[in-house]
Amino acid sequence: MKKLISAPYLVWMAVFVVVPLIMVAYFAFFANGHFTLDYVANVSQYANIFIRSIWLAAIATVICLIISYPVAVILTEADANYQGTLLMIVMLPMWMNFLLRTYAWMTILGNNGILNQLFGLFGLGPFKLLNTRGAVVLGMVYNYLPFMLLPIYNVMAKIDRSVLEAAQDLGCNRGRVIAKVVFPLSLPGVMSGITMVFVPAISTFIISRMLGGGGNLLIGDLIEMQFLGNSYNPNLGAAISLVLMIIVLLIMTLMNQFDADDRPLI
Amino acid sequence: MKKNIISLKNICVSFDGERILDNINLDIRDKEFVTLLGPSGCGKTTMLRVIGGFLTPDSGAVQFEERDIKAVPPHKRNVNTVFQRYALFPHLNVYDNIAFGLKVKKLPENEINRKVKEMLALVNLSGFEKRSVNRLSGGQQQRVAIARALVNEPKILLLDEPLGALDLKLRKEMQIELKRMQQRLEITFIYVTHDQEEALTMSDTVVVMNNGVIQQIGSPVDIYNEPKNAFVADFIGESNILDGLMVRDRLVTISGKTFVCVDYGFGENTPVDVVIRPEDITIIPPDGEHIAGVVKSVTFKGVHYEMLIEAYDHDWLVHSTKASAVDRTVGLSFGPDDIHIMRKTEG
């Protein structure tokens, strides 16, 4: 019976997860039916793009964390009746189309954009805001912020209030309660937040294309170009995807190692 | 006369327009074991939270050794709490849980070590230092929670139904252990429970509460033998609460018969509540002089039989070591000392 119920999921996983993975690996290592390491070896040419992607995604992840953590604390401390409303306000931009949101930033950051017009009123600028790395990071932070906030908030909201009172009772002021109890107990949420922001950020191609101009290509753009662009080369695209996947897996494993001394929760 | 360590003066607390504590006045003396006793929702936990500083009362004053501490936050009060469901830190082991308060106070490492070891010995958990608190039994978690609070050497320990989650046998053991700790460490314990037996066993003073109002303050013996009103009588042990008429001083009519009693000062022909404890009633053959009734049920309770006897539309609860046969008519005998008269409470 149990097997029967899980069957559709297994089929789904096989068709949409396992098979595509095998196909990616196949294209990366086989060209015209022959085994070759050429494509994987070629990936090293793009080391600078890999480094840039990892670097920008990491910066965006850290900024998301720095913004989200205090917000999560404020949310959990808010009156239970308002928490839902506050959370919805944070989530509201997510209901808008992703492309639309990113386009909006183009008009805000452009040379004749809203920000530069504002600066112009004070006789400043125009500054080059669009087509910079900063704009790419901004786009990542703006789009992926909820993916950091939600898991942290969820874990934090489940922390037993009486544990926090116990910490106060034992001499902790508000800051120390957060440092000594809330933070260690919220680490699982922080970890999944980091994963949920870092992974999409490192492989994005829309944000970098729209806000980064041509000079700030990321791995996602590189992969897209191999499949849809003028440098059509699916084998190389598959090889880059494979390497990216391995890098992400390695980074995540490293992060989990860092978190490994954390004891099971409750 | 020992001095007061905590005084609550005219404390009122409301949540969403509902009165939780209604003009509470209470003095707690130093080194006393005080129990706040009452049914759930009576405000006893709220009172503990006011003393602990987790809740600021709407009005009234909280005094600690005669100084007002209403504005002092919990982490600056010389008070520690054992929480209802322990509230141990799940990310810390037994040692670090107990050492938590000392580390916050930045005591030297070797002193922390010594104190934690002492506490572990006191609560019989030596050797459990490195154990995760998630892998302890309920009783062991309870001991860690007590040690974590006591290690800070508070002036007052607040305990919020600390034994509620333990089984009966363990609860009895912990009751005795807690009482012994309190006497040995000479700390004021303020203990919240809804278990009247627990309150009577452990306390120097019992504070009986209902609907946010203190009903009676007294020693366990006083509370049991001289309940001030029908609520206290009913809540502390089992009671027969009857409608009576005080004919004059030391004479009361119950169920159509007149009895001599020891109470006075209620006026003449005043309706009163009469309380008679089930164990104070002796079953005798019906003689026309005593109240007579028909035995409706007999239940074996171990130490005694519990019998329901119907007489004059009232079911009398009687405890006796000898069982009567069901449907037999019997007489109910009790002495003047066994009759407790109290004023009718409104409502």
Number of separate domains in chain B: 2
| Helix H or strand E segment including B174 | helix B168-185
* Mean pLDDT for all residues in chain B: 91
Asked if residue B235 belongs to a domain, the reply is: no
In this predicted structure, what is the pLDDT of residue B88? 95
pLDDT tens by residue, B144-190? 999 999 999 999 999 999 988 788 888 898 899 899 999 999 999 99
- The rounded Cα B20 to chain-centroid distance in angstroms is 18
Option in B74, B80, B90 nearest A266 (CB): B90
Q: For B321-332, how does the pLDDT look when each residue is reduced to its tens digit (9 = 90+)?
A: 888 889 999 999
Rounded to an integer, the average pLDDT of B1-6 is 81
**Domains recognised in chain A with CATH numbers:** 57-258 (1.10.3720.10)
Rg, C-alpha atoms of chain A: 22
Q: Is the domain of B56 the same as that of B126?
A: yes
Which of B230, B256, B276 is the endpoint of a domain? B230
Q: Do B247 and B166 have their domain in common?
A: no
* CB burial of residue A35 (10 Å; 0-12, 13-18, 19+): exposed
Q: What is the pLDDT of residue A264?
A: 44
The B residues from 172 to 211 touching A (CB cutoff 8 Å) are none
- For chain A, list residues whose CB is within 8 angstroms of any CB belonging to chain B: 160, 162-163, 165-173, 176, 180-181, 184-185, 262-266
One domain for residues B52 and B173: yes
Query: Same domain for B329 and B181?
Result: no
Position B113 in a domain: yes
Among candidate residues B230, B249, B269, the one where a domain is terminated? B230
pLDDT at A99 over 50: yes
Regarding whether B162 and B98 lie in a shared domain, the answer is: yes
Contact B104 A176 (CB under 8 A): yes
Domain presence at residue B41:
yes
Would you say residue A265 has pLDDT above 70? no
- 3-state helix/strand/coil string of chain A: CHHHHHHHHHHHHHHHHHHHHHHHHHHHHEECCEECCHHHHHHHHHHHHHHHHHHHHHHHHHHHHHHHHHHHHHHHHCCHHHHHHHHHHHHHHHHCCHHHHHHHHHHHHCCCCHHHHHHHHCCCCCCCCCCCHHHHHHHHHHHHHHHHHHHHHHHHHCCCHHHHHHHHHCCCCHHHHHHHHHHHHHHHHHHHHHHHHHHHHHCCCHHHHHHHCHHHCCHHHHHHHHHCCCCCCHHHHHHHHHHHHHHHHHHHHHHHHHCCCCCCCC
Question: How far apart are alpha carbons A91 and A149 in whole angstroms?
Answer: 10
Q: Which residue in A169, A191, A259, A261 has the most chain B C-beta atoms within 10 A of its own C-beta, making it the best mutation to test that interface?
A: A169
- Residues of chain A positioned with their CB less than 8 A from the CB of B100: 167, 170, 180
The answer to whether the CB atoms of A171 and B152 lie below 8 A apart is yes
pLDDT of residue B346: 59
Instruction: For residue A74, give how far its alpha carbon lies from the nearest alpha carbon of chain B (Å).
Output: 19
pLDDT of residue B1: 56
Say if B236 falls within a structural domain.
no
Helix, coil or strand: residue B9: strand
Per-residue pLDDT, averaged over A83-109, amounts to 88
How do residues B265-292 score in pLDDT, each as one tens digit? 888 888 998 989 999 999 999 887 888 8
Question: Phi first, then psi: what are they for B259, rounded to 5°?
Answer: -130, 150
Q: Are residues B93 and B182 in the same domain?
A: yes
Task: Establish if B207 belongs to a structural domain.
Answer: yes
Residue B150 to chain A, least CA–CA distance (Å): 10
Read off the CATH number of the domain in which B252 is found.
2.40.50.140
Q: B268 is in which domain, residue-wise?
A: 241-343
Average pLDDT, chain A: 89
Nearest to B132 among A162, A180, A263 (CB): A263
pLDDT at A196: 93
Q: Give the predicted TM-score (pTM) of the model.
A: 0.80
Same domain, B310 and B339: yes
- Same domain for B100 and B157, yes or no, is yes
Tokens of B155: 């002036």
Q: What average pLDDT does range A71-79 have in this prediction?
A: 91
Same domain (yes/no): B217, B329: no
* Contact criterion met (CB < 8 Å) for A162 and B79: no
Reply yes or no on whether the pLDDT at A16 is more than 60.
yes
CB contact under 8 Å between B54 and A165, yes or no, is yes
Looking at residue A259, what is its pLDDT?
63
Lowest-confidence pick of A153-167, B19-33, B308-322: B308-322
Is residue B57 domain-shared with residue B176, that is, in the same domain? yes
pLDDT tier at A263 (50, 70, 90 boundaries)? very low
Boundary residue ending a domain (B230, B264, B286) = B230
Q: What is the mean pLDDT of residues B225-232?
A: 88
Residues B213 and B258 grouped into a single domain: no
Same domain, B181 and B44: yes
Cβ-Cβ contacts under 8 Å, A162 against chain B: 83-85, 87
Contact flag B75-A181 (C-beta cutoff 8 Å): no
Residues in A touching B98 (Cβ below 8 Å): none
Cis peptide before A93 (omega within 30 of 0): no
Reported as a pLDDT band with limits 50, 70 and 90, residue B44 is very high
| Contact state of B81 with A166 under an 8 Å Cβ cutoff | yes
Interface confidence (ipTM) of the complex:
0.80
CATH of the domain at B142: 3.40.50.300
Q: Give the span between the Cα atoms of B159 and B329, in whole angstroms.
A: 48
Question: With contacts defined as CB-CB under 8 Å, which chain A residues touch B134?
Answer: 263-264, 266
